[in-house]
Structure 1
Amino acid sequence: MANEAKPCPCDIGDRMEYGGLGQEVQIDHIKAYVVKPSTVSDKAIIVIQDIFGWQLPNTRYMADMLSANGYIAVCPDFYVGKEPWSPSHDWSKFQEWYEDKKPTNINKEVDVVLRYLKEQCGAKHIGAVGFCWGGAATHYLALQYPEVKAGVSFYGKSLEEIYGLKSPTLFVFAENDHVIPLDQVEALEVKLKKKCTVDYQVKIFPGQTHGFVHRKREDINPADKPSIQEARTDMLNWLNKYI
């Protein structure tokens, strides 16, 4: 973590006044935001929240973007009703808040979502996209679920066993991310190069900061717009290649 006072630079950023194109549904014991493309599709993406939870408009905007590109997108509440982090919370309490929300303790929820996508949505090809906390969760899915055919992890803390990926994974990082310094990204690349047997790519965006892909609005950040759009295009290209 960056420091004890503020262990994650997860500001809300450009929080959108955005309602979303999908709907909230109940899937077994969890709620989820689901948006489907205009034409029938058997391709689906699990969109994994950051610390601000499954209802953050910015994350739903990304889910809608995936849907517009032909994917059924589902953003589940991986905190299972527990309160997400808020910018008004005391950052010194972050570790205490995080303790029962680890991105490696989501198997029950992932199993439920996978079953929903297969049985109720007709999905035959499934991927995962995650941001920050969800980026680490995407790592985890790529390690544990070979049926998840591709992953895109945006600025997620890497896991120790990350070189054992079972799914092709794109890792997107920001050059000026104080939570994930470049030496950690380099260490990840070394591990992947030595051990990983599936396709992967690690990409660092110069000058960018944590959260830039989904928390910076391209319409009001002209200097960042090329990087935002490039990262989103990379996401779609990766998913289209493997799903």
Structure 2
Amino acid sequence: MDQKIINLYDDYTHLPLTRSEFIRRLVLITGSVTAAMSVLPLIEVNAANMKITGDEDLFTEKISYPGVPGNMEAYVARPKEDKKYPAVIVIHENRGLNAHIEDVARRAAAAGFLAIAPNALSAIGTVAANEDEARQKFQELKAENNLQNFINAFDYLATRKDYNGNAGCVGFCWGGAMANSLAVKLPALKAAVAFYGRQPAAEEVKNIKAAVQLHYGGLDERVNSGIPAYEEALKKNNITYELYTYEGVNHAFHNDTAPTRYNEAAAKLAWQRSMDFLKKYVK
């Protein structure tokens, strides 16, 4: 796949770029409307591409907890055995809670965690009909409310009998940025894992008490531009961290519903590193 097409799709999914403008630019790159339409299924996310993690050995449920301005809904998964578990908040991309992120939560549960995947859009009462609508609705969210709603997830955890009191988080893209923000704002957080997420301001890094693990795609110039300042601040403030850049792969390389950006080898390696890291610091 032409990297220019992948970069255009990345712009479309992260910038205020209308679908009509996206298609117009895609036609310019591919040379015709017919060619553009044939490329679309190859670049757009599709849950049919997902390798589903079974839940036969898991307990799953849908829950809600207080949010701003409305309640937050979330998907929960953990091993079936009724006991206390360390928790991991799984934070979605800028599409809200979807089948892919629920699957990621089940993967975390299969690794021995109480996984909770909140839906940021639920706080404004949104049920998006498709990926495009979900991304548009994200523009209606207020940053301060988003942060509070994910902080509230940890307050909710404290009410559960299957929680052992130790928690971390893992986030992807929009959720990766949120994972970094939670590391800054929550002193009790044990670990934060961010996949290709926007970095916090360098002056805020001194507030981090959690261990931090960062995953980036080597071709993701937009997000990667913030790496040097973040890493310098992590070193300056003696923060425990690990940083991995996967050469030759794109933004969203972990998302197996994104056919041209997903990279199986990098995704599996990054996920194993994430689980090993969380098991080390969130017990």
Is TM (by shorter chain) over 0.5?
yes
Distance 1:177 1:116, change over 3 A: same
Unaligned stretches of 5+ residues in structure 1? none
Matched residue, 1:109: 149
Larger radius of gyration: 2
Deviation at 1:111, TM superposition (A): 3.9
Which structure is richer in relative contact order (CA contacts within 8 A, separation 6 or more)? 1
Cα distance in 1, alignment partners of residues 111 and 105 from structure 2: 10
Secondary structure of the corresponding residue to residue 192 of structure 1: helix
Q: Which has the higher helix share?
A: 2
Which residue in 2 is equivalent to 1:43?
86
Unaligned 5+ runs, structure 2: 1-6, 16-42
Number of residue pairs matched by the alignment = 231
In 1, Cα distance between equivalents of 2:209 and 2:230? 16
Answer yes or no: is 1:155 the counterpart of 2:187: no
Corresponding letter in the other structure for 1:78: A
| Cα separation, 1, equivalents of 2:222 and 2:129 | 17
Residue of structure 2 aligned with 1:233, choices 272, 276, 280: 272
CA distance in 2, matches of 1:139, 1:124: 20
Q: Equivalents in 2 of 1:152, 1:83: separation in Å?
A: 27
Counterparts in 2 of 1:1-243, with a 5 A limit?
Answer: 6=12, 8=14, 13-16=45-48, 21=55, 22-28=60-66, 29-39=71-81, 40-54=83-97, 56-79=98-121, 80=123, 81-82=125-126, 86-88=130-132, 97-98=138-139, 100-102=141-143, 105-120=145-160, 121-161=162-202, 162-164=204-206, 165-180=208-223, 182-194=224-236, 196-215=237-256, 224-243=263-282
Normalising by structure 1, we get a TM-score of 0.82
- 1:135-186 CA-to-partner distances (Å, cap 9, x unmatched) read 0000011001011110100010112145222211101000111431x44222
Q: Distance in 2 between matches of 1:5 and 1:115?
A: 35
Deviations 1:105-154 (A, max 9, x none): 43432343212212223331100010100100000110010111101000
AA partner of residue 113 (structure 1): A
Q: Matched residues in 2 for 1:5 and 1:63: separation?
A: 27
Where has structure 1 moved over 6 Å in runs of 4 or more? 2-5
Residue 31 and residue 41 in structure 1: after superposition, are their counterparts in 2 closer, same or farther (change >3 A)?
Answer: same
Deviations 1:179-208 (A, max 9, x none): 31x4422232222222x3320111101111
Deviations 1:77-118 (A, max 9, x none): 223133569544598xx6x9525243x543432343212212
